[in-house]
Amino acid sequence: MTAKGFTLIELVVVIVILSILAVAATSRFINLREDATTASWSGVVGSFRSGLGLVLSQHKVEGEPEILEVNGFDLSFHDTHVSPPEVRDYPVALTNGHCTIVWNALVSGVVAKEPGADVILGENEVIAEANGQVAGQCIYESLLGSVTYQSGSGEVEVQ
């Protein structure tokens, strides 16, 4: 009578091979997750830049007003930190509140909050803060990265 089935050694070898494959697949999955996170943040930054471009166009079409309503938010283009004050091409933000308004007007799906001791940053949120060292500069920080926006000029830098 012939025996059918696998020996104990064959089963152990198969289990070891499957374990090695599982470890390799897990490490690849972790790397893919990091790539997806980076791509997600790049998409958010791209949305912000695109929003700035659209606002610039709308501002020009409407005759360069000092205040422009975008998605229910009033964006100011009136720069008071220069003498004499002037109307800029891009939204001007001089305070934490202004930085928050600029972000929330331009980006949907990722909410900006003002900094504070009780602020807990969620996955789809950024903290909007005016840079005290550079007038008119906003710093947006999230769990995924940070962006610096130079208001009035429209320059965006990703860190």
d(CA 151, CA 17): 57
CA 112 from chain centre, in angstroms, equals 10
Residue 48: closest CA among 6, 132, 107: 107
Predicted confidence band of residue 6 (pLDDT cuts 50, 70, 90):
confident
Segments making up each domain of the chain, as ranges: 12-158
pTM of the model: 0.76
Predicted confidence band of residue 117 (pLDDT cuts 50, 70, 90):
low
Predicted confidence band of residue 1 (pLDDT cuts 50, 70, 90):
low
Cis peptide before 84 (omega within 30 of 0): yes
In our burial notation (b when 16+ CB lie closer than 10 A, e otherwise), range 17-42 reads: eeeeeeeeeeeeeeeeeeeeeeebbe
Predicted confidence band of residue 148 (pLDDT cuts 50, 70, 90):
very high
Helix (H/G/I), strand (E/B), else coil: 145: coil
